[in-house]
């Protein structure tokens, strides 16, 4: 399976250099990469699709600089690995705010590049296996399953209540359920799919989450829901 990498760089020669380094790294390490080059950040973010595992982002670019683009990117995709390529190290502190993995100082040296890419590649399997990509009106957004507190179905719309806010897409509870871990999520009624890690306590037919939100448990679902909570806690207290 190919690791998907985006290069966001307005200097074509610099972009091609990074591309050649990735290809060289792939040959030396028997890895496959799918590489997409963007001439600026606007091209990346316009109708953004959370399809990349790693993004190399230049900072000095026309229309939108890389740091502003990174802040916008994080509102859409909190999991993609971000590496800045820049000659402006004064941005290093701000990079922590967007969870940048590393900086590469131009002109980029291949051996330093390879060290940073090795670090990024090691993180790819970890971030990929549990992510959920949902299509919203503003584009595709990648969510970590552990960040989803519960999913609420209203009509034909699914609302993902997460640590970072709420996201809505056209879907059904059955479809949402098929995309999430059956060990970690369970229905408490026909409207809610709950992250069992977020359950604080049960009070009669009320499920109280760790942030104080109360969700109603339907009588037909109560037995299976309580059993799912017990099984979850047993797995995580060994």
Q: What is the DSSP secondary-structure string of the chain?
A: -PEEEEEE-S-HHHHHHHHHHHHHHHHHHT--EEEEEESSHHHHHTT-----SEEEEESS-SSS-HHHHHHHHHHHBSSSEEEEEES-GGGHHHHGGGT--EEEESSPPHHHHHHHHHHHHHHHHHHHTTEEEEEETTEEEEEEGGGEEEEEEETTEEEEEETTEEEEEE--HHHHHHHS-TTTEEESSSSEEEEGGGEEEEETTEEEETTS-EEEPPHHHHHHHHHHHHHHHHHT--
Please give the model's pTM, rounded to 2 decimal places.
Answer: 0.60
Lowest mean pLDDT of 64-68, 133-137, 145-149, name the range. Answer: 133-137
pLDDT over 70 at 96, yes or no: no
> Would the pLDDT of 137 be above 80?
no
**49 C-beta neighbours (distance < 10 Å), count:** 14
Identify which has the larger pLDDT, 67 or 137: 67
83 and 101 Cβ atoms separated by less than 8 Å: yes
Does residue 238 register a pLDDT over 80? no
| 159: Cα separation from own chain's centroid | 17
Of 8-17, 33-42, 130-139, 221-230, the one with minimum mean pLDDT is: 130-139
Per-residue pLDDT, averaged over 51-64, amounts to 91
Q: Is the pLDDT of residue 8 over 80?
A: yes
Q: In the predicted model, what is the mean pLDDT of residues 105-119? A: 92
Residue spans of the domains in the chain: they are 3-129, 135-235
Task: Specify the residue for token string 């330093």.
Answer: 112
Q: Which residue has the higher pLDDT, 89 or 59?
A: 59
Which residues are CB-contacts of 215 (< 8 A; sequence separation ≥ 6)? 150, 188, 189, 192, 194, 206, 207, 209
Among candidate residues 68, 73, 56, the one with its CA nearest the CA of residue 120: 56
The CATH number given to 135-235 is: 2.40.50.1020
Residue 53 to residue 5: CA distance in whole angstroms: 6
Among left, alpha and beta (phi > 0; psi -120 to 50; other), residue 113 is alpha
State both tokens at 133: 């990509």
Q: What CATH number should be reported for the domain whose range is 3-129?
A: 3.40.50.2300
């Amino acid at each position: 399976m190919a690791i998907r990498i985006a290069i966001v760089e307005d200097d074509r020669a610099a972009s091609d250099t990074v591309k050649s380094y990735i290809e060289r790294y792939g040959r030396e390490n028997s890895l496959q990469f799918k590489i997409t080059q963007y001439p600026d950040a606007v091209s990346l973010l316009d109708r953004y699709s959370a399809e990349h595992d790693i993004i190399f982002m230049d900072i000095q670019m026309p229309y939108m600089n890389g740091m502003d683009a990174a802040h916008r990117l994080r509102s859409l995709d909190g999991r993609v690995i971000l590496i800045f390529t820049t000659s402006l190290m004064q941005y290093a502190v701000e990079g922590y705010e967007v969870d940048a993995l590393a900086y590469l100082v131009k002109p980029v040296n291949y051996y330093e590049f390879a060290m940073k890419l090795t670090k990024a590649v090691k993180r790819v399997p970890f971030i990929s296996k549990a992510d959920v990509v949902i299509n919203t009106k503003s584009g595709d957004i990648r969510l970590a399953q552990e960040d989803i507190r519960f999913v609420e179905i209203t009509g034909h719309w699914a609302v993902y209540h997460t640590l970072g806010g709420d996201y809505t897409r056209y879907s059904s509870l059955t479809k949402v359920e098929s995309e999430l871990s059956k060990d970690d999520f369970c229905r408490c009624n026909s409207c809610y799919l709950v992250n069992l890690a977020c359950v604080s306590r049960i009070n009669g037919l009320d499920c109280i989450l760790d942030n104080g939100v109360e969700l109603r448990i339907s009588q037909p679902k109560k037995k299976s829901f309580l059993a799912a909570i017990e099984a979850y806690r047993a797995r995580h207290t060994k």
